Amino acid sequence: MLPLPAFADQSWLVVSDIHLNPFDRAPVPSSYGSDSDWALWSSALRAMRRANPHPAVVVVAGDLLAHHFPNLARAKRTLPEAASEQTMRRIAQSLEQAFPRAQFLVTLGNNDDPCGDYRTAPGTPYLAALARIWEPLVDRDGAASDFAQGFAHDGAYTANLPVRGLRAVVLDDVYLSTGYHPCGRVADDPAREQLEYLSHAIAGLPRGTRALLLAHIPPGVDAVSTLFAHRFLVIPFLRAGDESALRSILQDEHGHIAFALLGHVHRNDFRLFGGVPMLIAPSISPIYNNNPAFLLLSVAPDGTLDDYTLYADDLPAGAWTRLFDFGEYGVGRRFDARTLVAAHARIGRNEALQQAWIAALAGGAARAEVNGATWRTPWCAQLLDGSAFTRCAGLRARVLVLPAIAVLLAIVIVASLVLIFVRLPVRRRS
């Protein structure tokens, strides 16, 4: 049994990237390299209940469905739309049964549409069906009166929270991502609509109220993909123009935003973007050789995030344990811009703390891609992007190599074509 933590503040649960494969009905939890099966999801629910059986809020930060879900459904001769709705309904029901007193917040991820990855389109019957599934949990006690309409349109809504002076602003930032390509024709610009909604929602906060920002995809550098590209390319999460607009909004309004919660990376980390402290939740799915994990938050009466604790499932041992908490950075337990800068600095100069942070990234898994040789890439991404990130991560020479090679290849190809066309008439005359 996990020990029940004694928080003085309000306790919240955060779960992300469940990636449930409903067609995998193995009796044992799935392991590295696979998405979650029912056995793993049931194990995670039991562990969350042991960590806190009665959290005030449960946050679901997107990517509830397995990777390649439409293909999995078709392989079972099932329509992806029907299978997606049924799986979402079962996840919602399982969470409601586990936490009947909690208020819920949910956002969608890039894998949560039956049309395919990054293919969500606004105003579909599927979104309307999901709004009906999640409304009883999110609008519990009238907390989110605009949920049904907003979520059915494009996934964006606001919700009151059981913390005085804090209101949730929820976005579907898949529309802003570099991989977004809508399913079918989209008349409006959903990315612009999301950004406008964010700006108006923050501007409309009552006096003395701050926002909790919830979305799925973090802004800034995708450190894991950059590592997979052998650091020859710096890969961003969001399109440059949309990220710039988001940064501008956050910089202007960061004093009205308490903190942000995101997922997508399958790694537990933090970053500071536009002056807003951002906590990135780990994943339940172990598909990227990480241990399944979730977060328990301690939220202060003023809406500030006071601390968070990481719980992870050691897959080889088959046991969920408390692995790490923010206080271990030694900069105080309050999660804000000042402590994030201080924690970042301590990771950079304290080898023991650096190793603890590396272990926490992937829930203590041994086969993670971040190690003593690659740690600067995710570390620099905590605070930096653009050329500042490239310099910090020591990638300037590598990043310049690929364009240089591309230019040389282009020159070689053009020269070869010219030579072919010059020699061709000669051969014809001969």
Dihedrals phi, psi of 263, to nearest 5 degrees: -140, -130
Q: Does 174 lie in the same domain as 50?
A: yes
Least confident residue range of 3-7, 19-23, 67-71, 340-344: 3-7
Q: Does 399 lie in the same domain as 388?
A: no
C-alpha span between 215 and 249 (Å, rounded): 15
Q: Does 282 lie in the same domain as 168?
A: yes
Q: Does 98 lie in the same domain as 127?
A: yes
Predicted local confidence at residue 4, as pLDDT: 39
C-alpha span between 156 and 196 (Å, rounded): 11
Q: Does 264 lie in the same domain as 405?
A: no
CA 293 to chain centre: 13
Considering the chain, what is the average pLDDT of its residues? 91
Q: Which domain holds residue 145?
A: 10-394
Q: Does 428 lie in the same domain as 320?
A: no
Best CA proximity match to 339, nearest among 285, 376, 383, 384: 383
Q: Does 353 lie in the same domain as 334?
A: yes
Q: Does 304 lie in the same domain as 178?
A: yes
Interval 235-265: pLDDT, tens: 999 999 999 999 999 999 999 999 999 999 9
Q: Number of structural domains, the chain?
A: 2
C-alpha span between 310 and 256 (Å, rounded): 27
Cα dist. 163→103, 154, 159, 302, 350 in Å?
Answer: 11, 26, 11, 7, 36
Q: Name every residue whose Cβ is closer than 8 Å to that of residue 168 and which is 6 or more positions away in sequence.
A: 105, 144, 158, 159, 160, 161, 211, 212, 214
Say which amino acid occupies 14: V
Interval 382-410: pLDDT, tens: 999 999 999 999 986 444 444 434 443 44
User: What dihedral angle (degrees, nearest 10) is formed by the CA atoms of 213, 66, 150, 259?
Assistant: 0
Q: Does 182 lie in the same domain as 47?
A: yes
CATH number at residue 17: 3.60.21.10
